[in-house]
Amino acid sequence: AQSVTQLGSHVSVSEGALVLLRCNYSSSVPPYLFWYVQYPNQGLQLLLKYTSAATLVKGINGFEAEFKKSETSFHLTKPSAHMSDAAEYFCAVGSGGNNRLAFGKGNQVVVIP
Amino acid sequence: NAGVTQTPKFRVLKTGQSMTLLCAQDMNHEYMYWYRQDPGMGLRLIHYSVGEGTTAKGEVPDGYNVSRLKKQNFLLGLESAAPSQTSVYFCASSSPGLFSSTDTQYFGPGTRLTVL
């Protein structure tokens, strides 16, 4: 079964500083990996996804993530945090055998002015 | 397009009451999903459907039932609500090509349910 681990439920970052959210996956087959963002009182929106086309994936709002098979990781980064990045972020893994996703527990990002 | 809509947005139930949550999508998606979101737990899959007339259990199906009589609708039922079912419920939909480079699961805005 596929699973992802996100450490640190709450992440504080200063405005203008690097945003780094860690995601490690477990999968017996080549994984499909996703990052979603959830703003307060809203549903989830796709930030970016990895489907084996390229290891460095660029998403919306200046976010990107790098797939590292040797480290079973798919960490999310943004060079410079904005106040509007305050939200909850979820990593998810899926397999080609079905259309299901397994989500991590999420990271609540707080941006400090 | 409205995307994925959920009805109602909020609901308060007493223990033992029943209710149905409605999810509707206008993207002609084959796949639909019901998740629950609890603090510190992420999203957990309750039930899903891979097409009209089909349903399957997810990670946490106990206490819930679902139906997919029409392709665009996916209903989640609670027959006898319990306080442990207090949660935020999200519906999502996708095409079969979820793992292609251009597709994703599309989420509704959520239903906040409190069971007293």
Q: How far apart are CA B4 and CA A109, in angstroms?
A: 26
Q: Which residues of B touch A42 (CB under 8 A)?
A: 109-110
The mean pLDDT of chain A is 91
Mean of pLDDT values over B2-14: 94
CA A13 to CA A41: how far, in whole Å? Answer: 22
- Number of Cβ within 10 Å of residue A4's Cβ equals 24
Interface contact flag, A94 B99, Cβ < 8 Å: yes
Q: pLDDT tens digits, residue range B64-79?
A: 999 999 999 999 999 9
Residue A79 to residues A15, A93, B3, Cα–Cα distance (Å): 11, 24, 32
Quote the pLDDT of residue A95. 61
- Nearest alpha carbon to residue A4 among A108, A97, A111, A107: A107
Q: Which amino acid is at B61?
A: P
B43 or A95: which carries more pLDDT confidence? B43
Q: What confidence tens digit (pLDDT) does each residue in B46-58 have? A: 999 999 999 999 9
As beta bridge partners, residue B49 has B32
Q: Which of A101, A105, A107 to mutate to test the interface with B (most CBs of B within 10 A)?
A: A101
Omega of the bond leading into B8 within 30 degrees of 0 (cis): yes
Q: What are phi and psi of A79, to 5 degrees?
A: -60, -35
Distance CA A49, CA A33 (A): 6
Give contacts of B94 with chain A, Cβ < 8 Å. Answer: 99
Q: Contact B107/A32, CB-based, under 8 Å?
A: no
Is pLDDT of A99 > 60?
yes
d(CA A6, CA A1): 17
Q: Residue A44 and residue B44: Cβ atoms within 8 Å?
A: no
